[in-house]
Chain A
Amino acid sequence: MRRLIGAAVVAALVAGTAACGGSSGGAASGGSTDSFTLAAITPPSSFAIGAMASSGPEDPYYQAVYDRLLSVGTDGQPQADLATEWAVGDNGMSLDLTLREGVTFTDGAAFDAAAVKANLEKAKAAKGEAGSALGAVQSVKVVDPTHVSLKLNRPDPGLTAALARSSGYMASPQALDSADLATQPVGSGPYVLDSKQSTAGSVYVYTRNEDYWDKEAFPYDTLTIRFLEDMSATVNGLRSGQIDATATQTSDLVAAAEQADLNVETFFGGGLDGMYLWDRDGKLAPALKDVRVRQAINYATNRDAILESVKGGLGTVTSQVFPEGSLGYDEALDDAYPYDLDKAKQLMAEAGYADGFSITLPDFSPVYPDEQAAMTELLKSINITVEYKPTTGDQVVGSIMGGQWPLNYFTLTTSSPYELIGLTMTDQSPFNPFKNSDPELAKLIDAAYAATGDAQDDALQEVNKYVVDQAWFAPWDAVESAAITADGIDVTPVPGVSVPPLSAYQPAS
C-alpha cells in the first residue's frame, strides 16, 4: 500500500510540474496566417454530396474542402466561383453555366462539365435539403467540357442562390459513389481534410490545398474547426486565444462576447422569426379563416418588446416576409402592423371573437421558453387561450407539415424570396400544411416567377404586400447572426447567410 501511495504521489507531482511548465494552451494565432481555429456549434453530419443542409453552422466544414458552382457575394447575391458565368434562358426554363478551366480535384480528377452533371444528379437523388433546392432541375446537359446547361421543369429564380449554397458543392466524380465520401471528402476546395490530425465528431484539421486556384482568398495555412457546444467554453477559448472566431444566433453568447471585449459583428442571418399562421382555411381553428383575426394577432404583437426581452436585441423587427436588402423588400411594410392592442381587440370583436377562442399548439418551451411565453401572452391579450401539447424537437417539423397545428412559433431560414415562396406560399409548399390556395396570390406568384430583371423586385413586392395584407404570417423579426472574432481577425459577413463563409475571415489589416 505504501508503494502504491508513493507511486500515486509521484504521478500527481509529475502531473502538477508538467502542468505548470506547459504553455501550449495559450497559442494564440490571431494576426498570423499560420493557422486559424474556428468553433462550430455542431460537428459535420456528412461530407457526401447532397446529404448536408442547405446552409447553416456546418458550412465551414464543407467549404474548406468543396468549391461551389457559385458563391454568395458580400451583397448577398450569387457570384462567380467554379462557374464563371451563368445565364437564364428559354423563358426561365434553362440555366447555362460556363465553367472555370484548369481546376482539378485533390485526387487528380479534372473539374469539367461531366463532373458538374454527376454532382448535381447525385445531390438531387440524395433527397436532402440540397437536393430539394434542385427540384426544378429536370436534366443536366454537358454541352462541352466547360459548358453545362440545366434544363428546368419550371422557372426557378432561386436556383442560382441554391447553387451558391450546398446544392452547388462539387466533389471528385471518382469519389462520388464511394461510401467513404461521407467522412473522407475529396473536393477541389482551398483545404484538404487531414484525417490523421482530426478526431471524428470533435476536431477537424485541414491543411492547405497547394494547387488551389484562388489561394489568396484563404490566407491561413492550417484550418482547425472545433465542435464546441458550450457557451462558456467558446468564450473562454476566444479569450485565451485558442479559438479565433465563431458564429452564433444566441443572444447570450453575443452578450458574453461583448462583455469580454471580443469583436462582434452582427448581420442578417437569413431567418424569418415569428408566428406562422398556418390554418388560413380554419380547419382546426375556424376563427383563423377570418383575415381580421389574423390581422388582430399581428396588431397584438409588440415586436419591439419581444425583440428586446426575448431575442436580446439580436434581430430587426419586421411585419413583412422578405428581409431588407432582398428582392421584394418594401420598407413601407415594416410597420404594416404597429403594436395597437385596441385595434386588435376591435378586429376580434368585428370578427365575432370578442371573447376569444382556444387553440392547441405544440409545446416548444424546452427549446424556446421565452418565445413561447411571449406568444402565450400576446395571444392571451386578445383572449386567445392556448393549450400546449408535448412535442419532441424532432417531431416539430413533421407535425407542422402534417397539419397538426393552426399556428406556431417558428423560424424559417431561406436563401432567397423565391425559396420562401416555394416553401410557404403555393398549394404545393411543404410549409403550407393546409394547402391554402388563393387564386389572387397564385397569380402574383406566377408573375414573380415569370419576371426578369428589375421587374422581379416589383413583382415580389406585390407578393409581399398581399401576404402581409392577408396576414398569412405574424412575423416578429428578421433574425440576426453574429460573427465573434478574437483580436487580429477581421470578418466580412454575408447578409442572408447565417454563418460567414471561410473566405470572410482574414488577418486584421
Chain B
Amino acid sequence: MFTFLLRRIASGVALVFVTATVTFFLTAMTGSDPARRILGPTATLDEVAAKQAELGLDQSVLQRYLDWLGGVLHGDLSTSWFTNEPVTTLVWAALPITLSLVVSAIVLTAVISVVLGVVSAVRGGWLDNAVQVLSIVGFAIPSFLVGLLLSVVFAVQLGILPAIGYTPFSVDPVGWLTSITLPAVALTVGAVATVSTQTRGSMIEVLGQDYVRTLRSRGLPTRSILLKHALRNAAPASLTVLSLQFIALISGAVVIEKVFGLNGIGQLATSAASQGDVPLILGVVLLVVTLVVLVNLLADLLLGWLNPKVRIA
C-alpha cells in the first residue's frame, strides 16, 4: 500500500510539473501584450516597452520560465500583473469558495444518487422510469440555467437565500450555508443524473448475482442484503464516476460562480485568461491540477477500502 501511495504521489507531482510547464509555454506563445492592457490606451509605445521590461517580458521565454519555476519551488507564485496582489493571496481567497461549492455538490450528489439509484434498481416499474426520465432532464438542462432559475425563485422572488456573494464559514456558518446552497444545488442536478444512472446499473447487476440469491435464500433481511452486501459491491463503479464528477464540477463551477457572483477559482481563471494575466493563470493551473491529483488519490484510497482486491493490485 505504501509503495502504491508513493507511486501515485510521484506520478501526481510529475503531472503537475508537466501541466504547469506546458501552460507556461502556451501562454508565452499567445503573443499578447499585457503591458498595453495594464497601462491603458493612452500610454505611449516607449512607456509600454518600459512596462514590458518591468514585467520581465524583455527576457527570453526560457529565462522567464526558470525564474518562475524557481519562485514556485520557494513557494512564491509571483504577483498578479493586473491586480498587483500576490497570486497565492488571490488563489487562497478563491479556493474556499470553489471547494465549498464542489464539496457540497459532491456530498449532495452522493446522497441523492445512492438513494435514487438503489430505489429505482430495487423497485423498478414506474418509479424506475420516473428516475430515468428525471436523469435525462438533469443531463439536458445546463447548470447555469438551473442556477438562474433558482436565483430568481429563491433569492429574488422569495427572498430566502442570497442571489450573489459568499460568506466565509469562519465569519458566519449559517451565512456560509445560505450563500452556497443555491449554487451547490445548481451544480448537483447534472451530477446526480450521471451518478444515479451509474448506481442503478451497478445495483441491478449486483442484485442479479448468485451470492445475493444465496443470501436471500438464507433468510437475511432485505435491508442488510442491499446495504451491507449489494451496495458495497456496487459502490466502486459509482465512486469512480463520482471522483470524475468532482473534477467535472470544478469546471462546472466556472459558470455557476459567474451566475451567483462568487469570485472563486473559476472566476479567477476566466478573468486571468481574458486579461492575459500569466502569473495568475499559472497559479490557478497549479492549484487545479494539484486538486485533481489529490481527488484521484483519495478516490483510489477509498476504492481500496471498499474493495481489498484493488489494494493488492
Give the B-binding residues of A (Cβ under 8 A).
Answer: 1-2, 5, 8-9, 11-12, 15-16, 18-26, 39, 43-46, 48, 51, 53-54, 127-129, 132-133, 182-183, 199-203, 226-230, 232-234, 236-237, 239-243, 392-395, 397-398, 401-402, 412, 423, 430-431
Contact = CB atoms under 8 A, between A and B. Distances in A.
A23 B181 CA distance: 12
B161 to A, nearest CB: 5
Contact of B263 (A203, A242, A402): A203
Nearest to A239: B156
Nearest to B272: A201
22 contacts: A5-B110, A12-B108, A18-B177, A19-B178, A24-B174, A24-B179, A25-B160, A25-B178, A127-B43, A128-B43, A129-B43, A183-B84, A199-B263, A200-B90, A202-B263, A233-B258, A239-B163, A242-B164, A392-B30, A392-B32, A398-B33, A430-B43
Given A129-B43, A239-B156, 4 more contacts: A5-B227, A22-B160, A24-B174, A129-B41
A20 B158 CA distance: 11
A488 B37 CA distance: 37
Nearest to B156: A239
Given A8-B107, A18-B174, A430-B44, A236 B85 contact: no
B39 interface: yes
Contacts of A12: 107-108, 111
A132 B47 contact: yes
Contacts of A15: 104, 108, 177, 181
B141 interface: no
Interface stretch (B10-18, B128-136, B206-214, B228-236): B228-236
Interface in B252-285: 258-261, 263, 267-268, 270-271, 274-276
A1 B232 contact: yes
Interface of B: 30-34, 36-45, 47-48, 50-51, 80, 82-85, 89-90, 93-94, 104, 107-108, 110-111, 114, 148, 151-152, 155-156, 159-165, 167, 172-175, 177-179, 181, 227-228, 231-232, 235, 258-261, 263, 267-268, 270-271, 274-276, 306
A203 B93 CA distance: 10
A401 B267 CA distance: 32
Contact of A48 (B32, B43, B84, B227): B84
Contacts of A18: 173-174, 177-178
A-B interface, 9 closest residue pairs, ranked by CB to CB distance from nearest: A25-B162, A22-B178, A202-B263, A233-B261, A236-B163, A19-B181, A182-B84, A240-B163, A26-B159
A24 B181 CA distance: 13
A232 B258 CA distance: 9
Contact of B42 (A54, A183, A240): A54
Contacts of B172: 24
Nearest to B261: A233
A227 B164 CA distance: 11
Contacts of B89: 200
A227 B39 contact: no
A12 B110 CA distance: 10
A46 B156 contact: no
A438 B41 CA distance: 24
A86 to B, nearest CB: 23
A2 B177 contact: no
Given A15-B181, A46-B83, A234-B261, A132 B44 contact: yes
Given A129-B40, A397-B36, A236 B104 contact: no
A53 B40 contact: yes
B73 to A, nearest CB: 23
Contacts of A229: 258, 267, 270-271
A128 B271 CA distance: 21
B118 to A, nearest CB: 10
A431 B268 CA distance: 32
B160 A20 contact: yes
A356 B167 CA distance: 60
Contacts of B259: 230, 232-233
B47 A127 contact: yes
A339 to B, nearest CB: 29
A45 B82 contact: yes
A201 B85 contact: yes
A431 B104 CA distance: 52
B175 to A, nearest CB: 5
A200 B85 contact: yes
Contact of B110 (A8, A39, A412): A8
A402 B227 CA distance: 71
Nearest to B271: A229
B114 A5 contact: yes
Contacts of B94: 201-202
Contact of A240 (B32, B90, B111, B156): B156
Nearest to A399: B33
A129 B47 CA distance: 10
B41 A397 contact: yes
Contacts of A395: 31-33, 36
Contacts of A423: 42
Nearest to B44: A430
A394 B39 contact: no
B156 A203 contact: no
Contacts of B160: 20, 22-23, 25-26
B78 to A, nearest CB: 14
Residue in B82, B172, B228, B306 whose Cβ sees the most chain A Cβ within 10 Å? B82
A398 B261 CA distance: 32
